[in-house]
Amino acid sequence: MKKLIKTGILIGLVLFSLKNLNQDSFKSIKNCSYMIGSEKILVINKHNKIDKNFVPNNLIEPSIPFNDGVENEEKLVEKEVAVSLEKLFKDAENTGIFLLGNSGYRSFELQDKTYKNRILSEGKDMADKYVAKPGQSEHQTGLAMDVTNKANYFTEDTKEAIWISENAHKYGFIIRYQKGKEYITGCNYEPWHLRYVGKKIATNMHENNLVLEEYIENEN
Ligand SMILES: [Zn+2]
């Protein structure tokens, strides 16, 4: 029994130090912007904030159906993202998967409002788990879109979430906050949060099971 406990403690220590190693390497990403070949990739996370005044250049509203109650600003994404999102939604629909846009671009001010509203409705612990603080959100880049389904219940085992996880990369999107990689991304698993990185990078990350921080580390 003692031996078992000792082994358990040892495994625990190894896992703990591995986790810290990864956290340290993740913190070495110090810029918001990385050049991978000719592609400029933005990395926003808790340690790597976006400027308060950053506003994307070409925000437009994609022709996709939206969930009820989505603010007009949140319907916007960067033009290139909008085109890919429309293709993804259409192809999904052709296979019987109906998606809805739930939240795209959020300005610093809207992110602030979203964060504070969540604290009021669900408390600070839940807000910190699921809503980024202003300046730490990818939604300010115009490169992200949260999606949902008609039931507004988008967990990992719904057919919509499964289709997204298997197909999003073909349209240049990644599931930004992956299960099991929370210690790297600093965010809980979010099967609904799509981030545009372009087909080539999305496919590479999908095939190698990488999150954005890991991909940037590997490529630099
Ligand atoms: Zn999101």
What is the chain's mean pLDDT, rounded?
Answer: 89
- Higher-pLDDT residue of 220 and 27 is 220
pLDDT at residue 37 in the model:
85
Of 51, 57, 195, the residue nearest 135 (C-alpha)? 51
Which residue is catalytic, options 190, 207, 214, 219?
A: 190
77-190-46-68 Cα dihedral, nearest 10 degrees: 40
pLDDT at residue 165 in the model:
98
Tell me how far the alpha carbon of residue 191 lies from the centroid of ligand 1, in angstroms.
Answer: 9
- pLDDT above 70 covers a percentage of the chain that reads 86
pLDDT, mean of residues 56-80: 97
Tell me how far the alpha carbon of residue 38 lies from the centroid of ligand 1, in angstroms.
Answer: 26
pLDDT, mean of residues 112-132: 93
Query: Which residues lie closer than 8 Å to 172 by C-beta, 6 or more apart?
Result: 84, 196, 197, 198, 199, 201, 202
pLDDT at residue 19 in the model:
44
pLDDT at residue 15 in the model:
45
Tell me how far the alpha carbon of residue 148 lies from the centroid of ligand 1, in angstroms.
Answer: 11
- In the residue annotation, 86 being an active-site residue is answered as no
pLDDT at residue 137 in the model:
94
Tell me how far the alpha carbon of residue 193 lies from the centroid of ligand 1, in angstroms.
Answer: 4
- What predicted TM-score, i.e. pTM, was given to this entire model? 0.86
Residue 195 has pLDDT above 80, yes or no: yes
